[in-house]
Each structure stands twice: as structure tokens, then as C-alpha cells.
Amino acid sequence: MSLLPSRQRRGADARKSGRRAEWTAALLLMAKGYRILGMRLITPQGEVDLVAIKGQVLAIVEVKQRRSVEEALLAVSPGQLERLGRAGRGLARRLSRTKPLVVRLDLVALARGGWPRHICNAWPDA
């Protein structure tokens, strides 16, 4: 008996759940007045879950679905934060036309039994 089909099923379920979480996050941000510029955007530094803009703020948004908001915050490694920051700065250089954009790393945390939570500037030192 092979465990591969079960593993494949879990992987497919996780990807499906992740896509739902990203769409939920995008809807939340749009309701807050953000314009979504990209989802699952591939950059030279890696994949960015969501890129959104509001005014002069370019939000690089990591979406995490965990048991709690605290677990979601801890699920992002220092290396990942560094890559997200580099990706955001690169995108800001390409997008800014007249005024420089302020790059911010945000988190949308989805926890079981609760509303999605948008944390602006979740990692201010990154």
C-alpha cells in the first residue's frame, strides 16, 4: 500500500485551502480600500501572496492560515521576511512613477472560528 495518493491528496487540499485564504484576504483588503495588483506574484526573490496598493503604500501581503494570529506571525521566517522586503522594494521601483512608494510588509491571518485579521506593518524591522 502506497502513501503517495494520501500525501498527494493532502497537498492538493493544502493548496486549495491556501487559494481560498488568499481570495479571502484579497476581498478583505478590497473592502478596506486597497487595489489588488497581483496574487501569487512571482518575483526574482520568490513568490508574493498578494500585492496591494492604497495611496502611496505598496503592501506586500503574506497570507497565513493557522490556529491563531500569533501562530500566523511566527510562521514567517526571518529569511522569508528578507525575501519579501527585497521583492517589495523591487516592485516599488518598477511601479513608482511620480512619488516613491512606501513599502510595507503586512499579514492577513486567518484563524479557525474567527474573522480574518489584517495586520499592517506586521514586521516593522524587516
pTM, full prediction: 0.85
Q: Is residue 124 part of a domain?
A: no
Q: What is the distance between the alpha carbons of residues 80 and 58, in angstroms, rounded to a whole number?
A: 18
Residue 71, in any domain of the structure: yes
As for how many domains the chain has, the answer is: 1
Structural domain includes residue 69: yes
Q: What is the pLDDT of residue 3?
A: 56
Structural domain range at position 69: 4-119
One pLDDT digit (tens) per residue for the chain, 126 residues: 455 678 777 777 667 777 899 999 999 999 999 999 999 999 998 899 999 999 999 999 999 999 988 888 889 999 999 999 999 988 888 887 767 889 999 999 998 878 899 999 998 887
User: 115 in a domain, yes or no?
Assistant: yes
Query: Can you tell me the distance from the alpha carbon of 94 to that of 107, in angstroms, rounded to the nearest whole number?
Result: 23
Inside any domain, residue 126: no
Q: Which residues lie closer than 8 Å to 89 by C-beta, 6 or more apart?
A: 103
Q: Is residue 84 part of a domain?
A: yes
| Cβ atoms < 10 Å from Cβ of 99 | 8
List residues bridging with 118 in a β-sheet: 108
| 3-state SS assignment for residue 124 | coil
CATH of the domain at 52: 3.40.1350.10
